Every structure is written in structure tokens, then in C-alpha cells.
Amino acid sequence: MSTQFVRWLVVGLGLCLGGAVTWAQNATPLPDFKSGPGNGLYSYLSSTPATLTDLIRTNGQRPAALAQGELLLPSRAATDAKLPAVVLVHGSGGIYPELFSYWGKLLNEHGMAVLVIDVFGPRGVKSTAKNQRLVPFAADTADAFAALHMLASHPRIDAQRIAVMGFSRGGITAVRSGVLPIIQGSAPAGLRFAAHVALYSGGCAGPLAVAARPGVFSPEPMLFVHGDADDYAAMSDCRLYADRIAAAGTPTEFVVLPGAGHKFDLDSTQRIKLPANSKTKAGCPLAFDVLDLKMRDRRNGAVLSADQVKEIHRDLCADTGASVQGNPQAREVAGQAVIGFLDRVFKSLPAK
């Protein structure tokens, strides 16, 4: 590891992250994974773009940032085997135990390496559930691409078989990382995710949604998994969004979990009400067109002024109040669907 890299991490980022300095001391800083590190917590370089447009424009404003990920390698895999891998992106509540105890374990058991990234911790934030402005959504995507760069450099991982899987807010990144203008503007050179998985995804409708048009999404396949009792992120919006993405040319699958609510992958089956949490109303007609960088009304395709966006968002989109609840049966169905999807995708690609 270069002295310059270490100095930049410890001094430069320490000055700008304040409370995150303690966090940084708990992770091993690395410029890449070329040394073949084993399981552990690692920090690496990323950025904090403010907007989706900054992800698209190569000269967009992207202040340097520190990213964190916990690497989980399957214990039973042959040491000389090239492994597929999955980047896990948490939602608005931040890192939660089931990312490791359920998803990390499940993916490892099926021979896949996992990198669980923490978008909030390095930026001194615990949760954005009540204020999504604390961390720009574009930062999640920047961190996912930084994770792709790290995994692709690992000698035990196949750079062509790395997927991204996002939960709730993280589902927005799972989808956005498959948008061609974003890939061209922000993905590591020569790399892209082999598959995209969005669980109880946010951003299927409203200003965070990318308008699905031919030439917008990459050909790498997508999987949506959603409970039909979700009162936080409307399943109807995600199903329609998946249909539009498929119609635009990207292979897209949608799995419905009957009776499952938001965060069905939690261990606890207690229903927790979140009356102050912000959400988007079902049917919000706003969508962002990445081809001309304009906000549009999906009902008629019209380009909207800033005032029109504000009015529509106030009247038809902005809302609060939701709940989360674990559902063990739904989680098992979701797990089987995810493993089946990833197995098909990874087996369709030539192993390196």
C-alpha cells in the first residue's frame, strides 16, 4: 500500500468526515484487492456526487469520499477457483444484521463472494429514513461502483461475474447501476455489473426513477422481488417499472411475495410502524430522463419546469408513514428466487 494512499485516507478524509474518523480506524485501508485479502472490513476510495446528473457527466461534481465494505468469502470454495460475487447495498436504515446472517451466509453457501457496503457510516450518518438529504442517493451508486472496482481486482474473483443487490433505498442503486449513461459516466473502466437485483425497491416511481426508454438500460438482466403488502414502497409501481424496463429491451423478472411487507428479510416478525418516514405515493407520475437530463411527466411525456415538478411532487408524490415486518416464509422464497436468478446469470457467462 502506498504511503500517499494511506496519508490521503487518514489525514485528508479525517478532516472532512469528522465523526467518521473513529469508524475509519476500524477498517483496513486498501487501494484495491490485488493482494487477495481474506474476510474483513476494508476502506477504499469513492466519491459523493450530489445528483444523478453528476453520475452521468464525466466532469460532474464528485467530492472524494471514503467507502467501506465487509468482504465475505465462501469457506468451502477451492482456493484456485474464480468466484462470482455480489455487492450488497443497504437501505435507508443503514447496515442491519440480516445482510450478514441471512444474505451473506446464503450467497456464500452457494459459492458466491459477498461485499456488504456501508454507504452511511463513512459519511457520519446512521440512517436517512426521516431525512433522505443526509446522504445523496448518487453516493450509493458511486460506492457500489467503487466496490465493483475492488472486487474485480481480487485474484479470487471473476471480474465478469459480479452482481449488485440492493434493498429498499439500495434497490435504487441496483437499478441505476444498469443505466447506460450512468455506467459510461461512473463505472470503473471496462467493468459493469453482470446482474441487478432489487428487493422491496424504492425509486420505482417519482423523481428518483429513471425513465425507461430504448437505449437507457444495459442488457444485463434485472430481478425485482417485492411483497404485495408493502406499504412503504408500492409493489404496483415496481411491477410497472419492471415491465417498462423489459419493454425497453432489458431482460427483467419480477417475483411477488404474497402477504409480505417492507423489509420482509428481517428476523423479527413484529410489525414496526414508522409514521414519520418519508415515502412516495403509489402512481407518482414523475420520472427523470437521463437522455436529455429533464424531469418528465410519465402520463404524457411532457418536460416539466422546476415549478411543475414541485407542484406534482407536493400533490401526487410526497407522503409519510409506513411499516416494516419480517416474514420468514417470504424471505425463504426470496432467497431461492435470488439464488436461482444469479446461478442462471453466472452460468451463462464464461468463467475466467
Q: Check pLDDT > 50 for residue 14.
A: no
Indicate the pTM of the whole model.
Answer: 0.94
pLDDT, mean of residues 183-208: 97
CA atoms within 13 A on the CB side of 147: 33
Would you call 347 exposed, middle or buried from its count of C-beta atoms within 10 A (0-12, 13-18, 19+)?
exposed
- Its domain, for residue 79, covers 34-348
Which of 137, 135, 150, 168 has its CA nearest to residue 68? 150
pLDDT, mean of residues 73-97: 95
What is the reported pLDDT for 350?
A: 82
In a domain, 249, yes or no: yes
> Cell numbers of 345, please?
446469470
Q: Check pLDDT > 70 for residue 10.
A: no
Looking at the DSSP bridge assignments, the partners of residue 41 are 70
pLDDT tens, 139-185?
999 999 999 999 999 999 999 999 999 999 999 999 999 999 999 99
In a domain, 210, yes or no: yes
In a domain, 6, yes or no: no
- Residues 183 and 21: their CA atoms lie apart, in Å, by 30
In a domain, 7, yes or no: no
What is the reported pLDDT for 11?
A: 41
CB 326 within 8 A of CB 269: yes
Picking from 73-87, 201-215, 260-274, which range would have the lowest pLDDT averaged per residue?
73-87
Amino acid identity, position 341? F
Q: How many domains does the chain have?
A: 1
What is the reported pLDDT for 60?
A: 75
- Residues 127 and 92: their CA atoms lie apart, in Å, by 6
- For residue 262, the domain's CATH number is 3.40.50.1820
In a domain, 12, yes or no: no
Beta strands in 281-317 (DSSP E): 286-289, 294-297
What is the reported pLDDT for 25?
A: 55
CB 224 within 8 A of CB 238: yes
Tally of helices (H runs) and strands (E runs) in the chain:
12, 13
Beta-carbon count within 10 A of 38 CB? 8
Helices (H), the chain: 3-7, 13-17, 21-24, 52-56, 98, 105-109, 137-152, 169-176, 180-186, 235-247, 306-312, 328-348
CB 122 within 8 A of CB 23: yes
In a domain, 159, yes or no: yes
What is the reported pLDDT for 352?
A: 66
Which of 101, 93, 96, 40 has its CA nearest to residue 69? 40
In a domain, 161, yes or no: yes
In a domain, 82, yes or no: yes
Q: Maximum Cα–Cα distance for the chain, whole Å?
A: 58
